[in-house]
Structure 1
Amino acid sequence: MSHHTTPYPAQEGAMPSQRHILPIAIVLITALAMLWHGPINQLSDYHNFADQRTWLGIEHAADVLSNLGFAAVAAYGLLILRRQEAHPAFAAGIAGYRLFFGALALTALGSSWYHLAPDNASLVFDRLPIALACAGLLAAVWRETLGSPRWLVWLLGAAAIVSVAWWRLTDLEGAGDLRPYLLLQLLPLILVPLLQHLADRPRQERLMFASAIGLYVLAKLCELADWQMLDALALISGHTLKHVLASLAALIVARQLASRVRHAGSSIPHPQAK
């Protein structure tokens, strides 16, 4: 059945193992490129955020309180999954989406804790949930598009933990290599659109995920222009805006999941998990 008449068609054509070749090749090539590049170090002034204002006794209030957006989206997303966990539209990807939204909730806590008194030790509690969120989203999309073993979400979750542990261990030795952590953030930006294309997912779904990815990329650019944006906008810094835009990106993912319940039928097939 065409994807113009049903939102989540059965996968046809190439065998799953063949469809996995290109995504796996991209993972390997990107990892090898990172390895060839050599260590990527954290900026020396990373903790020197532009907005130093205190409000209601909260230091760096804007960067701290803007994390409430992550908490709100996490609660909304987890509520969707809890109410619709038996719905076939979530059958393959639900474990990954649970990790994604659960990690968003932890991001709200960890990032708030970090921004109260930024240093490398507290940064671990900011970066670990972000890495887990990237792992969860990638696992969810991979499983629900091409199918994959159930342990993929555990494998990517473990990779997220290792990526942050590697940065922290090398940081304590004076190097602070960010390559694994950056790789885990980069892969969903490349692979999510590719996986959805290979599986011929509905146009609306691909557009919504593309919009979320675009907002996240914009959020990262705002982060790099932290001081410049505060100078230009006065009321909000680049890093605070990063939190807002990243929350909106996650909200788009949640809204896309909610739309599946409205549009998907009760007998829609999915790639079989191994």
Structure 2
Amino acid sequence: MNRQLWLIAVISFIVISVALALPPLSQPLDYHEFADQRSFMGIPNFNDVVSNLAFLFSGGAGVMLLLRINQRPSQKTFQQLQECIPYGLLFLGVIATTFGSSYYHWMPSNDRLMWDRLPIAICIVALLSATLVDRVNIRIGLWLLPSLVVLAIVSVLYWHWTELQGAGNLNLYIVTQFYSILLMLWISFRFPSRYTHGSFIYSIIILYGLAKVAETLDREIFTLTHYWISGHTLKHLIAAYAAYRIVYVLNKRSIETRKLR
């Protein structure tokens, strides 16, 4: 296992170094031109703004579940209660996405987009930490969590700072997001979960991919549904459902005694 962890560390260092060395990739200005710009009840971009309430529901359900688990003397969701820390940060990040994304979609701009991306980046690295805790090693997963959160925050702030300098660079943010997803997938292939329902991580990654596809096909989906729902609104709903799937699995899972290490 130590050899594989060192391999992950070396590859991660190389990937981040390459991201910083590559030519800067700036934020396209037309990114903010979403398909559904309809207003309702005085709320601009109504569907893209209000659909963020789904994150509040999913994140709130997750926080409430963790509070209930911590009050159960005989809980079976976590082998050690400290394992809930990455999930707690994840669900708080999902709640924060409600406000950050709503703030951005109310009046889309690069300055506001920073507040949308910050909680999303934190959610992704929190899930990576939780995956390490569940499958690799509790101590390592928790030990890496602060560093991963710092990396997520820096990746967004660095992009925003470079935009202010007139030469935006998304490379580090893109790597932080997509490499984390690939790393979760690789870890899940290589290390069995210590809990039942461990394969749920694959459905989360699939939902993440579907959300990205919906975002890319924003206008096409809006036209296909006869202007009922846009791809970006659908992205919010899919991503919020992915977060709720985590809540659902945590509520059902238990320690897989045959895989205890």
- Using the size of structure 2 for normalisation, the TM-score is 0.89
Q: 1:214 is matched with which residue: 182, 185, 206? A: 206
Q: Which amino acid aligns with 2:156?
A: V
Q: Which has the higher contact order (CA 8 A, sep 6+)?
A: 1
Q: Report the alpha carbon displacement of residue 202 of structure 1 after superposing the two structures with TM.
A: 6.8
Q: Is residue 137 from structure 1 mapped to residue 127 from structure 2 by the alignment?
A: yes
SS in 1 for 2:30: coil
Deviation at 1:46, TM superposition (A): 1.1
1:227-246 alignment, distance < 5 Å: 227-233=219-225, 234-246=227-239
Q: Given residue 181 of structure 2, which amino acid in structure 1 is its aligned partner?
A: L
Distance (Å, rounded) in 1 between the aligned partners of 2:42 and 2:135: 47
SS where residue 246 of structure 2 aligns? helix
SS of aligned partner of 1:205: coil
Identity over aligned residues, as a percent? 34
Tell me, yes or no, if structure 1 residue 264 matches structure 2 residue 249. no
Determine which of 61, 66, 71 is the counterpart of 1:81. 66
Paired residue for 1:7? none
In the TM superposition, what is the alpha-carbon distance from 1:37 to its structure 2 partner? 3.4
- 1:254 counterpart (236, 247, 251): 247
Shift of 1:28: 2.8
Residue pair 1:95, 1:153 contacting (<8 A) in 2 also: no
Q: What's the offset of the Cα at 1:36? A: 4.5
TM-fit CA distance, 1:88: 5.5
Aligned-pair RMSD on alpha carbons?
2.2
Corresponding position: 1:114 with 2:104: yes
| Cα distance, 1:254–1:187 mapped onto 2, change above 3 Å | farther
**In 2, Cα distance between equivalents of 1:68 and 1:26:** 37
Find the aligned partners of 1:104 and 1:245 in 2 and give their Cα distance.
Answer: 13
Q: Which has the higher helix share?
A: 2
Per-residue deviation, residues 229-260 of structure 1 (Å, max 9, x unmatched): 11111201111111011111111122111111
Q: Residues of 2 paired with 1:253 and 1:238: CA distance?
A: 23
Moved more, 149-158 or 169-178: 149-158
Q: Deviations over 1:90-111 (max 9, x none)?
A: 3353111111110000000110
Letter of the 2:19 partner, please give it: M
Tell me, what secondary structure is at the counterpart of 1:52?
coil
Contact 1:88 1:269 in 2 (8 A): no
Q: 2:31 corresponds to which letter in structure 1?
A: Y
Q: Is the 8 Å Cα contact of residues 207 and 238 (structure 2) preserved in structure 1?
A: yes
Would you say the 8 A contact 1:103–1:130 is kept in 2?
Answer: yes
Q: Which runs of 5+ in 2 are unaligned?
A: none
The alignment covers a number of residue pairs equal to 253
Correspondence for 1:189 among 181, 190, 198:
181
d(CA) in 1 for partners of 2:233 and 2:147?
32
Q: Indicate the residue corresponding to 2:215 in structure 1.
A: 223
Q: Can you list the C-alpha shifts for 1:69-118, whole angstroms capped at 9, x where unaligned?
A: 11100011111111113745333531111111100000001100111111
Query: Unpaired runs of 5+ in structure 1?
Result: 1-13
**Structure 1 residues 113 and 24, CA, compared in 2 at 3 Å: closer, same or farther?**
same
TM-score, with structure 1 as normaliser? 0.85
The aligned residue for residue 5 of structure 1 is: none
Q: 1:202 to 1:95 in 2, by over 3 A?
A: closer
- The aligned residue for residue 49 of structure 2 is 64
Q: Does residue 1:24 correspond to 2:9, yes or no? A: yes
Please list the CA deviations of residues 198-255 of structure 1 after superposition, one character each: whole Å capped at 9, or x if unmatched: 2222796343211111111111111111111111112011111110111111111221
